[in-house]
Amino acid sequence: MNDQEKEKAPDASTTTRPSDFIRDIIAHDLKEDKYGGRVHTRFPPEPNGYLHIGHAKSICLNFGVAAENPGGLCNLRFDDTNPIKEEAEYVAAIKADVRWLGFDWGDREYYASDYFGTLYEYAVKLIRRKLAYVDDLTADEIREYRGTPTEPGRNSPYRNRSVEENLDLFRRMREGEFPDGSRVLRARIDMASPNLNLRDPVLYRVLHAAHHRTGDAWCIYPMYDFAHGQSDSIEEITHSLCTLEFENHRPLYNWFLDALEIYHPRQIEFARLNLSHTVMSKRKLLALVRGGHVSGWDDPRMPTLSGLRRRGYTPAAIRAFCERIGLAKRDSLVDMALLEHCLREDLNRRAPRVMGVLGPLRVVIENYPEDKEESLEAINNPEDPGMGTRQVPFSRVLFIERDDFMEDPPKKFYRLAPGREVRLRYAYFITCVGVVKNDAGEVMELRCTYDPATRGGDAPDGRKVKSTLHWVAASRAIPAEVRLYDHLLSKDDPADDKNGGDFKDVLNPRSLEILKPCYLEPSLVDASPGSRYQFERLGYFCVDPDSSEDQVVFNRSVTLRDTWAKIQKAGTKK
RNA sequence: UCGGGUGUCGUCCAAUGGUAGGACACCAGUCUCUGGAACUGGCUAUCUAGGUUCGAAUCCUGGCACCCGAGCCA
């Protein structure tokens, strides 16, 4: 990680506090002294996959709220109740991502599996109170008995077993006497409840599987619903912030807390993040990885934190984004353009400028001596003079961008064309005096002359030039591979697949374009993976870890705003 | 069909009975050695029908639309 990554999220004293309905509720609770002046949140991921930008919203909320309140704390807790799906590898990746985003959970790293003993005791307590029973129905039968949203369910024939029998059966479930799926422990609530979650939910299932933390200590595992609320209670969380789909579960969590007579956090639900032109569910992201549509979880097109990091996103940009999208209960679809805006805003301030040519076109300066080379001074960041200057070499043969030349330019094109004079940034004014083509009529090379009086880029006679081009001296250019990315999906809302459509049907076939060779200015020789630059006039780019000794690879993080591209697009539409 | 939730510019979020505002996007312009950045201006919204009120996005009533819910997933 470079120092851009090491920077932590600013603390409350230096930030303006965001305002939203959750922070309003918390402020109100504080005023009423509901939790003895405490604010204690938690970020509770399941270690069954990688974190994505939607998780970042939750991380920024939970850690943010804690940081904004004096003495506020936020725990990191892994909801690891399903050993079949969870792995230690994910735990490590999640911790790294949260840290990278700039947040710190101190020594408060917890696991639902830490509470398996307590949860077991809680279950026994419910049995003793006649509020839970062991059910021998099969999974299919349980589903049948549950009823539907419009019809009530039916009681299981095992619902009225004695406390003694339940205690004995549950103990034997734990001791491994029964095979997977043979019996479950259920809460005894109300099979006619209009809330399906209250129709005798399953509390424990038999699972003869090793857990990544508890090993073979258990062969029964609590369901998420039986673990989550109680874990929050055990940790004395004041505000359990979660997404909307758990709103229907809140009455169940409250039922457990009341039946068990234990500490009662306040749960508040908010809408999860949806981003245009991508998908967010782990299931769909996994499908992209498995289907080979992307190179992995950290493919720079993925909305995962590891993907965004590799793409060149900064933690600060992601945090700013999470703040700007706000927080509410209605479903929404945030425009990817906002995420990109936040990245540009951050990188504009901090990324050093360099010159790189992505689509090289050879230029020979006819009146420039063959063997001459000079060194010109270039500004590293016009937004920040403190970043200093550097030297770039200039010589007779150069590369410019193919798109910066047109033989027969339309009105609004004011870059290079035959007979036209432009400026090479920080170098000289040049005029195109000839065009060399191959047999197919393709432009292979430009012949130009330069005006020695314009050294550095200013004309002593004050004449203006309409355009400034970036360039690279051919003799000193570093060849590179550059990967351009576009939206993963060509449709803004992939969830909009009513007619049985699959999000994979709208995969953007041009989401990745590999350019090679591209030519970069020599100051980039030592660029290390993760380093971010602005290639002038093109966008922000980041060195990819695929780079090797003989081949540097850059990812385009985001383009610069491109007015000319817009003009062109408008032109082709007409 | 039952229960829970949600409806404000193209998009996201505000306005907590008193001038519907900000950001992104878009359009136009200023400036510019990045067609970048910055700056200026413009554009467009309260789901609907009634009611209460001097006054309603906000309160009441009735519709409508969308989201979540029938895992031994989380």
CB proximity A325–strand B (7 Å threshold): yes
- Beta-bridge partners for A204: A185, A222
Residues of chain A with pLDDT under 70: 1-17, 495-501, 573-574
Q: Which residues contact A289 (CB under 8 A, 6 or more apart)?
A: A296, A297, A299
Residue A517, preceding peptide bond in cis (omega within 30° of 0): yes
Round and report the angstrom distance from CA (A562) to C1' (B40).
20
Q: Catalytic residues of A, which ones?
A: 46, 272, 282
Please spell the DSSP secondary structure of A186-229, one letter per residue.
Answer: EE-S-TT-SSGGGSS-EEEEE----BTTTBTS-SEEE-HHHHHH
pLDDT for A1 equals: 39
Distance in Å from B38's C1' to A392's CA comes to 27
Task: Check if residue A426 sits with its Cβ under 7 angstroms from strand B.
Answer: yes
For the CA of A186 and the C1' of B71, the distance in angstroms is 14
How high is the pLDDT of residue A18? 76
Residues 166-195 of A with CB under 7 A from strand B: 180-184, 194-195
Q: Determine whether the distance from the CB of A327 to the nearest atom of strand B is below 7 Å.
A: yes
What pLDDT score does A493 carry?
A: 86
> What pTM does this model have?
0.96
From the alpha carbon of A184, which nucleotide's C1' atom is closest? B72
pLDDT of the residue at A10: 54
Residue A54: what pLDDT? 98
**Measured CA distances, A309 to A82, A96, A480, A544 (Å):** 29, 12, 20, 10
CA angle A533, A535, A541 (to 5 degrees): 50
Determine the Cα–Cα distance for residues A139 and A183; give it in Å rounded to an integer. 9
Strand B within 7 A of A138 CB: yes
Residues A306 and A318: their CA atoms lie apart, in Å, by: 12
CA atoms within 13 A on the CB side of A264: 13
Whole-number Å distance between alpha carbons of A357 and A476: 13
Q: Quickly give A424 CA vs B20 C1' distance in Å.
A: 50
Res A203: pLDDT: 98
Render pLDDT for A115-143 as a digit per residue (tens, 0 to 9): 999 999 999 999 999 999 999 999 999 99
Q: What angle do CA A565, A570, A571 make, to 5 degrees?
A: 95
A101-110 exposure pattern, b = at least 16 Cβ within 10 A, e = fewer:
bbbebeeeeb
Taking a C-beta distance cutoff of 8 angstroms, is the pair A561, A379 a contact? no
Q: Buried (b) or exposed (e) across A440-458, using 16+ Cβ within 10 A?
A: eeeeeebbbbbbeebbebe
Q: How does pLDDT run across A367-376, given as a tens digit for each residue?
A: 999 999 999 9
Residue A489 backbone dihedrals phi, psi, to 5 degrees: -120, 140
Beta bridge partners of A432: A448
Nucleotides of B under 7 A from a protein CB: 1-8, 10-14, 16, 22-27, 33-38, 66-74
pLDDT of the residue at A498: 52
Q: Which nucleotide is nearest to A340 (CA to C1')?
A: B24
Q: How far is the CA of A341 from the C1' of B37 (A)?
A: 13
State which H helix or E strand residue A241 sits in: strand A239-243
- State the distance between the two ends of chain A, measured CA to CA, in whole angstroms: 47
State the residue for tokens 């922070």: A23
Nearest to A205 by CA among A227, A223, A224: A223
Give which of A205, A253, A259 is closest to A231, Cα–Cα: A253
The strand pair at A512-520 and A356-357 is best described as antiparallel
Q: Which amino acid is at A423?
A: R
CA-nearest of A304, A273, A340, A233 to A61 is: A273
Catalogue the long-range contacts made by A364-368 (C-beta closer than 8 Å, 24 or more residues apart): A364/A396, A364/A397, A364/A445, A364/A446, A364/A447, A364/A448, A365/A396, A365/A397, A365/A398, A365/A430, A365/A448, A365/A449, A365/A450, A366/A433, A366/A447, A366/A448, A366/A449, A367/A449, A367/A450, A368/A395, A368/A396, A368/A450
- Read out DSSP for A10-36? P-GGGSPPP--HHHHHHHHHHHTTTTT
pLDDT of res. A14:
41
Print burial letters for A235-246: b (CB count within 10 Å at least 16), e (below 16): bebbbbbbeeeb
